[in-house]
Amino acid sequence: NRRIVLASRPQGEPVASNFRLEKVNKPVAGEGEILLRSVYLSLDPYMRGRMNDAKSYAEPVAIDDVMVGACVAQVEVSNHPDYQVGDWVLAYGGWQDYSVSNGEGLMNLGQNPSNPSYALGIMGMPGFTAYMGLLDIGAPKVGETVVVAAATGPVGATVGQIAKLKGCKVVGIAGGADKCAFAVNTLGFDACIDHKAADFAQQLAAVCDNGIDVYFENVGGKVFDAVMPLLNTSARVPVCGLISQYNATSLPAGPDRLSLLMGTLLVKRIKMQGFIIFDDYGHRYPEFAQDMGQWLNDGKIQYREQVVDGLDKMPSAFIGLLKGENFGKLVIKVNDP
């Protein structure tokens, strides 16, 4: 059993030495338990928060503990009545080949799911996040303008496509020409602006000529600075993530713009609401699965995955994710089915 543990806590950007690959004995499934052999491991931005020694909405990973994360695995041994050998499951096994579970929090995907890795992306946590954050907090109406950054990642790409299905004008923000072309040509966004362009804020203002009604916040920082003056009266801002700040070790230097933000919220009666997907919306997963399953079947939603081979590549792929080096949902294939 190979596993990757947290060797040390990062100061700013994570580096390779914050992780350590170890070989340990394969765990054994006890009474009522199942042994899972991981095939796909998920890499997600929230894992950066778990590397800090600070209580957030979840506990940090302890030094020398296995890095946390979701996996799609197959049952190798079952001492549990609800699981058969060979079943595919969505589990929270962490960055390792094998894990043991008592079945709590698992989702059984059956013996022959058509796209098992989708449970980590479009049919799983990121897709669900996009769906609830946009529809429940963003509440987009036909003809409104919806803006989303990290536009080609699993959350942003899904937000924009659902907003198109709801009849909105959709403007993406992404890093680089290739990602922007993908957002427009494949995902069907009306426009996509490169946040690395020197005149990014001007380009965004030009394309959002009727202002912004829903800004789905994934990144924060200078992207939010460009969005804020464009927000319309009664705009909604689901606050999903702030990835541009995840490696920060202190607050950005002044000037203090908090009163500008508060004044904008007040005068324009803007609703800005954070959410943590499973804590706030876990009970609504079936509704999402029904709609998303249908949209995928009907070819109404496109989904891009980037599959990287090998457990040993996880640290470098994760470091890259925080810098925008991924293109699509980042999944690590660790074993053959």
Applying the rule CB under 6 A, the residues between 264 and 283 that interact with ligand NDP are 275-277
Nearer to ligand NDP, 1 or 200 (CB): 200
Smallest distance, Å, CB 158 to ligand NDP?
8
Under rule CB under 6 A, residue 244 binds ligand NDP:
yes
Q: How many CB atoms lie within 10 A of CB 106?
A: 21
* 20-28, 67-75, 240-248, 282-290 -> range binding ligand NDP (CB under 6 A): 240-248
CB of 327 to ligand NDP, least distance (A): 7
Q: How far is CA 87 from CA 38, 81, 140, 263, in A?
A: 12, 12, 39, 54
1-9, 76-84, 215-223, 251-259 -> range binding ligand NDP (CB under 6 A): 215-223
The residue range among 111-119, 204-212, 218-226, 309-317 that interacts with ligand NDP, by the rule CB under 6 A, is 218-226
Q: Closer CB to ligand NDP, residue 18 or residue 326?
A: 326
Total residues binding ligand NDP (CB under 6 A)? 31
Residue identified by tokens 């796209």 is: 115
Instruction: For residue 126, state whether it binds ligand NDP (rule: CB under 6 A).
Output: yes
Q: Which residues from 31-60 bind ligand NDP, rule CB under 6 A?
A: 44-46
First to last CA, the chain: 16
Among 69, 153, 160, 315, interactor with ligand NDP by CB under 6 A:
153
Q: Which residue ranges make up the site for ligand NDP (CB under 6 A)?
A: 44-46, 125-126, 129, 149-150, 152-156, 174-175, 179, 195, 218-219, 221, 223, 240-241, 243-244, 275-277, 321, 324, 326
